[in-house]
Amino acid sequence: MKLLCLLGPNLNLLGEREKDVYGQMSFEELVQLLQKEAARRGIELEIFQSNHEGALIDKIHEARGKWDGIILNPGAYTHYSIALRDAIRAVNVPTVEVHMSNIYAREEFRHHSVTAPVCWGQITGFAYLGYILAMEAFLLRERSRELSKSP
């Protein structure tokens, strides 16, 4: 299984910003942990972070025919990026939206996601575990498809 993990704006500042919301783990530690957990599960994982909407959209476009799924934390783009939403919908690659914090327990403007309706699912509020849960969801999805094919 091949998964693309896209991390949006300000996630490169993990461990430095709002530790009460996002925790102590640095961005580099998160990347190392996710690579280790992916390898343990037999998943090829590419991680890409950008503060630029267009760069994230380009990566989503490149996912067609290359990746089995996308794990996406759009950051603040979650709440207003119709362009990201359109890109997810256009490529037809299963996408799980992940948020480290519980966006529904934060400020009112964070309660609405424009990207979630075009995603396969959403995981919110489990810190770094959300990315691992997304990996597991993709593995379970693959297994259930295999089971439905067997006689």
Average pLDDT of the chain is 93
- Which residue segments constitute the domains of the chain, with CATH numbers given? 2-149 (3.40.50.9100)
Q: What is the pLDDT of residues 73-112, one digit of tens each?
A: 999 999 999 999 999 999 999 999 999 988 887 778 778 8
Q: What is the bridge-based pairing of β-strands 121-124 and 44-49?
A: unpaired
pTM above 0.75, yes or no: yes
The token duo for 103 is 């966006």
Query: Is 22 tagged catalytic?
Result: yes
Catalytic, out of 22, 77, 128, 131:
22
Q: Is residue 11 within 8 Å of residue 27, measured between CB atoms?
A: yes
Query: Is 52 tagged catalytic?
Result: no
